[in-house]
C-alpha cells in the first residue's frame, strides 16, 4: 500500500534532497573538472548540511598559518563561518583575514534552496598584496614567508570568478533537473507498471469468475441433457411397447393400412430412441462416468459385424463397401459394444456422405500408440509407446473444408445447415465417437479433401499377449 502512493508523493512533493537526485560521484567529478580548469577549490554542500564534494589542494599559506596557534584559530573560525553561510538568493562573498576570498553560491531548484557550493579560497587579481590583517596575527608570523605563500595562491579576477560560479551553478542545477527528471520517470514507470498489473489482475479475476460461471452452466447443461433424455425415454419405451403389441395383434387383427402405419410409427420411434440414447451417452461421457467393460476384441469380427449392419444402407445408395484386415492385426483392448458404436457411427456417416457409386472402406492394421503427447516437448522423455490397432474408415464422399475440420468433433456441430437437411442427424455422433475413443485411451484423427473424400483414423490400444 505504501508503495502505491509513492508515485503521487513524488509528483506532488518537491526535490528533494540533492543527494537523492545526484550521486556524490557525479558532483565530485563536475567539481574536479572545474578545479582542473580554473585551479579553484570547490565544495558542494546539501541543504541538509552534508558535504557532497570537496575538491581542493591545501594552500601553502593556510598550512603555514595553521602551524601558528593564533593563525590556526583564526583559520578554523573562517572555515566554520564560510561553511555555515546559507545564502538564499544571491552569492555571498566572504573575505578571509589572509586577503583570500570565498564565494558561497546558493543552489536553487524549482524555487527552493537545495544546497550551496563554496568556491575558494582564491586571491582576487585586483588585490594589491596581502592585507595588513595578515601581519597582525601574533608576532610569530614571518612576513616574507607569508608573502611568498600568498603569491602562490590561485588568482582570478572577481568578474571572472562571478561568471565561473554562475556557470558552475548552472551546470549543477541542470544536473539536478536531469536527475530529478530521471527519478520521476523511473518512479512513474514502476508505478505505471504496478497500476497496469493491478488492472490486469482485476480483469483476470473477473474473467476467472465468468469462466467459473460458464463451467457451472456447462455442468447444468449436461445434467439437464441427461435428465431430459432419461425422462423422454420412459414414455417412448411405452410407445414402442404398445406399438409392438398392436403389431402382434394383441388388440385384434389389423388391416394392411393399419399395419403399414404402425410400421412407420415403430420406425420413427426407434429413430427417436436412437437419438435419445446418443444424448444420454453424451451426457454420461461429459460427466465422465462412462463405464467400459474391456476385453480383447477381434478386429475382423468387429469390422464384419459393422459392415453387415450398414450393407442395407450402402446398397440403397449404391455405395460399394470394402473391408480389409491386414495379416497379424492384433486384438483390440476395448468394450465390444462401445467399439461397435464407434465404428458404426463412422461407417454410417461415411455411407451417408458418399454419393451414388462411391466407395466406403473399413480397414484394420497394426500400429503404435504414443501416450504422453504425440508431439509435445520432451516426448522422448515422457512418452511411452504401445502396440495398437489402427482402424481406418475411408470414403469418397463430399469431404470437409479445412477450417471446419477442427470443429466436427464438437457436440451439436454441423458442417452446414444445408447438409443437416440433406443428411439428417443432430451432430452428436462424432462428439460421442471422440469421447468414446478417448475413453479407450486411443486417438482419433481426421483428414479430408473437399470433393474427394474423408479419412477417419482411430488408433486404439492392442490387447496384450495376443497375436
Partner 1 sequence: MKLVYYGPALSGKTSNLRAIHWLATSRTCGELMTLETQNDRTLFFDMLPISMHSRAGLKIRLKLFTVPGQVMHDATRRLVLQATDGVAFIADSQRSEADANRESFFNLKKNLEENGIDPERIPIVIQFNKRDLENIRTDQDLISVAKQSRETIYKAIATRGYGVMQTLAGLIRETWVRLEDEHGLEEKFGISPLQFMSEIEDQLKHDARRAGR
Residues binding partner 1 (CB under 8 A)? 5, 7-8, 11-12, 109-111, 177, 180-181, 184-185, 188-189, 191-192, 195-196, 199
Matching residue, cell 440414447: 277
CA 457 to each of CA 33, 92, 346, 413, 443: distance values in angstroms, whole numbers, following the listed order: 81, 94, 10, 20, 8
CB-CB contact of 10 with 183 (8 Å)? yes
In whole angstroms, the minimum distance from the beta carbon of 161 to partner 1 comes to 24
Residue 216 contacts by C-beta under 8 Å, 6 or more apart in sequence?
A: none
Q: Which is nearer to partner 1, 185 or 326 (CB)?
A: 185
In whole angstroms, the minimum distance from the beta carbon of 16 to partner 1 comes to 12
Q: Which is nearer to partner 1, 192 or 320 (CB)?
A: 192
Q: Which three cell numbers stand for residue 354?
A: 458418399
In whole angstroms, the minimum distance from the beta carbon of 2 to partner 1 comes to 14
In whole angstroms, the minimum distance from the beta carbon of 9 to partner 1 comes to 9
Q: Which is nearer to partner 1, 179 or 397 (CB)?
A: 179
In whole angstroms, the minimum distance from the beta carbon of 293 to partner 1 comes to 59
Rounded-to-integer distance, Cα 89 and Cα 86, Å: 9
Largest CA distance in the chain: 156
In whole angstroms, the minimum distance from the beta carbon of 31 to partner 1 comes to 22
Residue 282 contacts by C-beta under 8 Å, 6 or more apart in sequence?
A: 225, 411, 428, 431, 432, 435
Q: Which is nearer to partner 1, 7 or 82 (CB)?
A: 7
Q: How many helices (H) and strands (E) does the chain have?
A: 15, 13
Q: Which is nearer to partner 1, 185 or 450 (CB)?
A: 185
Q: Which is nearer to partner 1, 184 or 272 (CB)?
A: 184
In whole angstroms, the minimum distance from the beta carbon of 174 to partner 1 comes to 9
User: Which of 43, 198, 14 minimizes the C-alpha distance to 109?
Assistant: 14
Q: Which three cell numbers stand for residue 382?
A: 515422457
In whole angstroms, the minimum distance from the beta carbon of 91 to partner 1 comes to 17
Q: What is the DSSP letter of 357?
A: T
Q: Which is nearer to partner 1, 48 or 195 (CB)?
A: 195
Helical (H) or strand (E) element with 83 = helix 69-84
CB-CB contact of 283 with 225 (8 Å)? yes
Q: Which is nearer to partner 1, 43 or 169 (CB)?
A: 169
Rounded-to-integer distance, Cα 353 and Cα 246, Å: 36
Amino acid at each position: 500500500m505504501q508503495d502505491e502512493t509513492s508515485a503521487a508523493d513524488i509528483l506532488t512533493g518537491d526535490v528533494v534532497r540533492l543527494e537523492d537526485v545526484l550521486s556524490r560521484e557525479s558532483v565530485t567529478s563536475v567539481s574536479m573538472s572545474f578545479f582542473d580548469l580554473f585551479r579553484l577549490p570547490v565544495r558542494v554542500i546539501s541543504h541538509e548540511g552534508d558535504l557532497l564534494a570537496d575538491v581542493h589542494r591545501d594552500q601553502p599559506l593556510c598550512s603555514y598559518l595553521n602551524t601558528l596557534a593564533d593563525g590556526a584559530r583564526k583559520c578554523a573560525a573562517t572555515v566554520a563561518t564560510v561553511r555555515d553561510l546559507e545564502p538564499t538568493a544571491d552569492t555571498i562573498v566572504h573575505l578571509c583575514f589572509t586577503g583570500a576570498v570565498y564565494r558561497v553560491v546558493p543552489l536553487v531548484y524549482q524555487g527552493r534552496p537545495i544546497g550551496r557550493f563554496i568556491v575558494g579560497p582564491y586571491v582576487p587579481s585586483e588585490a594589491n598584496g596581502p592585507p595588513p590583517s595578515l601581519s597582525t596575527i601574533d608576532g610569530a608570523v614571518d612576513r616574507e614567508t607569508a608573502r611568498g605563500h600568498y603569491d602562490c595562491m590561485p588568482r582570478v579576477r572577481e568578474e571572472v570568478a562571478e561568471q565561473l560560479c554562475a556557470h558552475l551553478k548552472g551546470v549543477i542545477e541542470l544536473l539536478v533537473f536531469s536527475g530529478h527528471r530521471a527519478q520521476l520517470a523511473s518512479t512513474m514507470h514502476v508505478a505505471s507498471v504496478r497500476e497496469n498489473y493491478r488492472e490486469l489482475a482485476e480483469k483476470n479475476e473477473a474473467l476467472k469468475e465468468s469462466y467459473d460461471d460458464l463451467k457451472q452452466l456447462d455442468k447444468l447443461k449436461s445434467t439437464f441433457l441427461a435428465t431430459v433424455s432419461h425422462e423422454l425415454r420412459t414414455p417412448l419405451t411405452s410407445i414402442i411397447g404398445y406399438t409392438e403389441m398392436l403389431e402382434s395383434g394383441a388388440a385384434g387383427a389389423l388391416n394392411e393400412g393399419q399395419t403399414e402405419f404402425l410400421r412407420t410409427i415403430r420406425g420413427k420411434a426407434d429413430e427417436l430412441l436412437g437419438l435419445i440414447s446418443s444424448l444420454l451417452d453424451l451426457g454420461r461421457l461429459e460427466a465422465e462416468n462412462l463405464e467400459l467393460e474391456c476385453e480383447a476384441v477381434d478386429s475382423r469380427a468387429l469390422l464384419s459385424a459393422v459392415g453387415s449392419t450398414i450393407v442395407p444402407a450402402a446398397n440403397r445408395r449404391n455405395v460399394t463397401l470394402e473391408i480389409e484386415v491386414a495379416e497379424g492385426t492384433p486384438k483390440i483392448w476395448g468394450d465390444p459394444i462401445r467399439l461397435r458404436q464407434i465404428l458404426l457411427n463412422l461407417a454410417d456417416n461415411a455411407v451417408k456422405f458418399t454419393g451414388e457409386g462411391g466407395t466406403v472402406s473399413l480397414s484394420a492394421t497394426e500400429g503404435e500408440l504414443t501416450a504422453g503427447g504425440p508431439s509435445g516437448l520432451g516426448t522422448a522423455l515422457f512418452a511411452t509407446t504401445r502396440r495398437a490397432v489402427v482402424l481406418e474408415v475411408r470414403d469418397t464422399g463430399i469431404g470437409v473444408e479445412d477450417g471446419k475440420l477442427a470443429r466436427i468433433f464438437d457436440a451439436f456441430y454441423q458442417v452446414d445447415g444445408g447438409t443437416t437437411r440433406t443428411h439428417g442427424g443432430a451432430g452428436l455422433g462424432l462428439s460421442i465417437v471422440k469421447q468414446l475413443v478417448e475413453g479407450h485411451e486411443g486417438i482419433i484423427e481426421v483428414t479430408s479433401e473437399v470433393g474427394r473424400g474423408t479419412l477417419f483414423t482411430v488408433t486404439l490400444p492392442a490387447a496384450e499377449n495376443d497375436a
